[in-house]
Amino acid sequence: MNKSRRIFMMQSVAVGLSLPLAKFALAAEAVNEKDKQAISLGYVSDTKKVDKAKYPKHAETQHCSNCMFYQGKEGDKAGACPLFPGKEVAANAWCSSYTAKAKVG
């Protein structure tokens, strides 16, 4: 095996072994309540802190983890939401686009 091929093979193995670790490096950042999108949707990281005067239909039982847009798994502290691309919303957060998940069965 020539030297350049051996180097290529070692680099390929190194890249292949590092791919699983890249998942952690690419973790999404949390939504900041002061972001423009968050402000426009009334996003708060704790559903108990929603301005009841501004959002009178809000109920404390409404939170991201039981919203149809939430893409995290049950029990996760945060998850993706298509309303905040590339970021994660807190499971206990809320925004004005909250829509309850449809009940199955």
Profile the chain (105 residues) by mean pLDDT over runs of 10 residues: 64 58 61 95 96 95 96 95 96 97 76
96 within a domain of the structure (yes/no): no
48 within a domain of the structure (yes/no): yes
pTM above 0.95, yes or no: no
5 within a domain of the structure (yes/no): no
Structural domain including 77 reads: 28-90
Q: What is the CATH number of the domain that holds 69?
A: 4.10.490.10
105 within a domain of the structure (yes/no): no
- pLDDT confidence of residue 99: 96
- pLDDT confidence of residue 103: 76
17 within a domain of the structure (yes/no): no
- pLDDT confidence of residue 102: 82
How far apart (Å, rounded) are the C-alpha atoms in residues 66 and 72? Answer: 10
Dihedral pair phi/psi, residue 55, rounded to 5°: -125, 75
21 within a domain of the structure (yes/no): no
1 within a domain of the structure (yes/no): no
Sheet with 87-90, edge to edge strand ranges:
29-30, 87-90, 78-80
- pLDDT confidence of residue 8: 61
- pLDDT confidence of residue 90: 97
